[in-house]
């Protein structure tokens, strides 16, 4: 397997792991909810870089979601240090929800 293939496999594993992290207020995972803006693996530094947001700046579950995202990345890619950054630029919008997420939420 090439280095590029291994890199893509690690990113796919990280995304798959994040699909088990739910926003408890919505009941939908952070990937399908559209909260994960960027995800990359820095192979040489052994880091997983994640840029994410919350549905609102004052999300009451924000700290919990952030901790769960960080823990998921640690468990999914052991040996890689997660660096998770929260941004509100751009602000989250409902149209960021995936098609699967919309179906889960009743098709809105």
54 occurs within a structural domain: yes
Task: Render pLDDT for 26-79 as a digit per residue (tens, 0 to 9).
Answer: 999 999 999 999 999 999 999 999 999 999 999 999 999 999 999 999 999 999
100 occurs within a structural domain: no
107 occurs within a structural domain: no
- What lies within 8 Å, CB to CB, of 50 at 6+ separation is 14, 36, 38, 39, 69, 73, 82, 83, 84, 85
Task: Render pLDDT for 73-99 as a digit per residue (tens, 0 to 9).
Answer: 999 999 999 999 999 999 999 999 999
99 occurs within a structural domain: no
pTM: 0.94
CATH number of the domain bearing residue 32: 3.30.300.130
Q: How far apart are CA 86 and CA 58, in angstroms?
A: 12
Domain extent for 74: 3-94
66 occurs within a structural domain: yes
Which DSSP helix (H) or strand (E) runs through 93? none
Q: Residue 107 pLDDT more than 80?
A: no
103 occurs within a structural domain: no
| 1 confidence band (pLDDT: 50, 70, 90) | confident
pLDDT of residue 70: 98
Domain count, the chain: 1
Q: How far apart are CA 55 and CA 65, in angstroms?
A: 11
């Amino acid at each position: 397997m090439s280095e590029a293939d291994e890199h893509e496999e690690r990113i796919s594993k990280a995304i798959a792991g994040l699909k088990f992290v739910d926003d408890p207020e919505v009941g939908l995972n952070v990937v399908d909810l559209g909260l994960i803006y960027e995800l990359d693996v820095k192979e040489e530094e052994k880091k997983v870089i994640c840029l994410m947001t919350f549905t609102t700046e004052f999300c009451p579950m924000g700290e919990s979601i952030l901790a769960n995202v960080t823990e998921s990345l640690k468990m999914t890619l052991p040996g890689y240090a997660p660096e998770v950054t929260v941004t509100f630029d751009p602000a989250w919008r409902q149209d960021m929800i995936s098609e699967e997420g919309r179906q889960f939420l009743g098709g809105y």
